Amino acid sequence: MNKNATVINRESIENWRDQKFGMFIHYGLYSVQGRGEWAMFIEQQDIDEYKKLANDFTAENFDADKWAKIAKSAGMKYMVLTAKHHDGFSLWDSKSCMEDHTVMNSACKRDLIKEYTTACRENGLMVGLYYSPLDWRFPGFFAPRLYKTNAKALVKQTHDQIRELLTGYGKIDLLWFDGAEDFWVAQGLRLNLLRRPEDFRTNIQVEDFWKAKDLDKFIRETQKGIICNDRIGDKSYGDYFAPEKKIGEYNVVDPWETCDTLTDDWGYHPGAKIRSLRNVLNLLVKVVCNGGNLLLNVAPRPDGSFEPNEIKRLEEVGAWLEKYGESIYGTRGGPISCGDFGGTTHKDNNLYFHVLDWNEDEILIPDVGSPKITSLTGANLTVNKENGLIKISVSDKDKLEMDTIIKLTYQKPVKEIFASDIDYKELSKKRSYSSDAIIVADVK
Ligand code: GLC
């Protein structure tokens, strides 16, 4: 990350890390088919036939303001909408989209990106756009040497469309690339195996296919302070990395964001299974404790409305965040990494211990800094000190199914109390702890 980026705006990145929770939205022609956003490719649908779906794409209940309000009710602070997915269908009035495969040439005939960007801003949410340079309509993507002119046209479309998006819709806070890593290019029909990209990373066929350096320079000069993920070029561009459908490993130094789905897939499937509230909260809390943000995907119906069960689940998440958000927003992960049973976050003088699975009777914290210990979730606590450890136990009835949160308030910033990360496994193995192991501010 970052090696080649022209301007890196630390302030924007830290601001984005404070937001923690965003809404991802996959919406496009594939929503009409209801078989996920990869159906065109996986089923090898005839492109001309696929394009006819535009006649049914009315988006009659697309209401970006409603979307933004739902995101807010979920406690989300930013949104990322698929401006164009791999099928090439562009949700805005794009002049440089090959063969006018755009929303203006569909039954909808409204610039949805305009409505969306306006609604995000009006609702105080960060504005994010997903953009896939990969476009299945271009044979030059699959066989760039055989279709050289076509491959060039694809790269040109990408640069031109990024220019349209970044110059026509006011301030864009975040650009979310997908399918633009060099290792995707020239993989032909093996492309659907790219869901396991590790097989391809070492097999780059065309170096610098997307002219990523120029693109990156343009992006950062045009939208000051914008942040981008790293799914482009050789992955050295971008401000943060983006693990997909998995909780990122504990890393409280580099910025990262897990993207995952609220239902089974990214694109719409009628009647899709939905995560339980516990499952969503587990995901969110673990991601945040491990040092990341969570971008949670919602798949609107073809008409642009959300499934009622998705709205309900999101509101439940929002209600939880309303109560316990101080242990999430504006925090950073750590300093104690806990593995499966929970994790910690901290902000200023407060350390929050999140227990998600009670597989231990008591929680251990190094006995330094004489914190005031309370429970955000109202648990009765028993606190003992022994062998350099504070041992906190919670009565069974106060062990919550969702998340039991214990708050430790120190007299100075947690970062100064624990100057280095602590591995909970090591801590609990010892069951006694020497405070020498922790570099306290006093002795620094
Ligand atoms: C994948 C898929 C895509 C989805 C994206 C979200 O790379 O190709 O369909 O949009 O992940 O992260």
Ligand 1 first shell, C-beta below 6 A: 26, 37-38, 178-179, 244, 259, 266
List, in sequence order, the alpha helices (H) in 303-370: 308-324
Q: At what angle do helices 112-122 and 64-73 cross, to 10 degrees?
A: 40
Average pLDDT over residues 344-348: 98
Full set of structural domains in the chain with CATH: 10-327 (3.20.20.80), 334-443 (2.60.40)
Q: Is the pLDDT of residue 309 over 60?
A: yes
Mutate to test the pocket of ligand 1, among 26, 130, 178 (most ligand atoms within 8 A of CB): 178
Residue 420 pLDDT: 86
Question: DSSP character for 284?
Answer: H
Q: Is the pLDDT of residue 320 over 90?
A: yes
Atom index in ligand 1 nearest the CA of residue 26 equals 10
pLDDT tier for residue 108 given thresholds of 50, 70 and 90 = very high
The 8 Å CB, 24+ separation contacts for 43-52 are 47/136, 47/137, 50/87, 51/101
pLDDT tier for residue 1 given thresholds of 50, 70 and 90 = low
Between the CA of 120 and the centroid of ligand 1 the distance, in Å, is 22
Q: Is the pLDDT of residue 210 over 60?
A: yes
Between the CA of 178 and the centroid of ligand 1 the distance, in Å, is 7
Least confident of 149-158, 209-218, 330-339, 429-438: 429-438
Average pLDDT over residues 87-115: 98
pLDDT tier for residue 236 given thresholds of 50, 70 and 90 = confident
Between the CA of 266 and the centroid of ligand 1 the distance, in Å, is 7
Atom index in ligand 1 nearest the CA of residue 267 equals 9
Question: DSSP character for 441?
Answer: G
Looking at per-residue pLDDT, the higher value among 360 and 358 belongs to 358
* Main-chain dihedrals φ then ψ at residue 271, nearest 5 degrees: 70, 20
Atom index in ligand 1 nearest the CA of residue 231 equals 7
Nearest one of 340, 361, 343, 362 to 352, comparing CA atoms: 343
Q: How far apart are CA 226 and CA 217, in angstroms?
A: 12
Residue 216 pLDDT: 94
Residue 431 pLDDT: 60
Q: Would you give the distance in Å from CA 162 to the centre of its chain?
A: 20
Q: What is the radius of gyration, based on Cα positions, of the chain?
A: 23
Q: Is the pLDDT of residue 196 over 80?
A: no
Whether the model pTM is above 0.85: yes
Residue 93 pLDDT: 98
pLDDT tier for residue 432 given thresholds of 50, 70 and 90 = low
Residue 426 pLDDT: 84
Q: How far apart are CA 88 and CA 134, in angstroms?
A: 8
Atom index in ligand 1 nearest the CA of residue 38 equals 9
pLDDT tier for residue 438 given thresholds of 50, 70 and 90 = very low
Atom index in ligand 1 nearest the CA of residue 37 equals 9
Q: How far apart are CA 19 and CA 77, in angstroms?
A: 6
* Burial class of residue 381 (count of CB atoms within 10 Å of its CB; 0-12, 13-18, 19+): middle
- Per-residue pLDDT of 366-402, as tens digits, reads 999 999 999 999 999 999 998 889 999 999 999 999 9
For 111-145, give the DSSP string: -HHHHHHHHHHHTTPEEEEEE----TT-HHHHSTT
Q: How far apart are the first and last CA of the chain?
A: 31
Residue 442 pLDDT: 34
Q: What is the maximum alpha-carbon separation in the chain?
A: 72
- Per-residue pLDDT of 48-58, as tens digits, reads 999 999 999 99
Residue 199 pLDDT: 57
Average pLDDT over residues 353-372: 91
Residue 203 pLDDT: 67
Name residue 298's beta-bridge partners.
25
Between the CA of 94 and the centroid of ligand 1 the distance, in Å, is 22
> What is the residue-averaged pLDDT of the chain?
91
- Per-residue pLDDT of 170-188, as tens digits, reads 999 999 999 998 888 888 7
Q: Is the pLDDT of residue 440 over 80?
A: no
The 8 Å CB, 24+ separation contacts for 389-393 are 389/364, 389/365, 389/427, 389/431, 389/432, 389/433, 390/364, 390/365, 390/366, 391/362, 391/363, 391/364, 392/353, 392/362, 392/363, 392/364, 392/365, 393/361, 393/362, 393/363
Q: Atom 5, ligand 1: which residue's CA is nearest?
A: 178
Tell me how far CA of residue 257 lies from CA of 42, 225, 229, 231, 336, in angstroms.
27, 18, 9, 12, 19
Tell me how far CA of residue 112 lies from CA of 21, 59, 62, 190, 191, in angstroms.
23, 9, 8, 32, 29
Between the CA of 235 and the centroid of ligand 1 the distance, in Å, is 16
Average pLDDT over residues 340-368: 92
Residues 435, 436, 441: CA angle, nearest 5 degrees: 85
Between the CA of 259 and the centroid of ligand 1 the distance, in Å, is 9
Average pLDDT over residues 248-263: 96
Q: Is the pLDDT of residue 274 over 60?
A: yes
> 3-state class of 405 per DSSP?
strand
Tokens at residue 278, please?
Answer: 């516990």
Between the CA of 361 and the centroid of ligand 1 the distance, in Å, is 40
> What percent of the chain has a predicted confidence (pLDDT) above 90?
81
Q: How far apart are CA 326 and CA 347, in angstroms?
A: 9
Task: For 85-239, list the strands marked E by DSSP.
Answer: 126-131, 174-177, 180-181, 227-228, 232-233
Residue 207 pLDDT: 83
Atom index in ligand 1 nearest the CA of residue 82 equals 10
Tell me how far CA of residue 9 lies from CA of 41, 224, 233, 434, in angstroms.
37, 8, 20, 40
Q: Is the pLDDT of residue 5 over 70?
A: no
Between the CA of 441 and the centroid of ligand 1 the distance, in Å, is 44
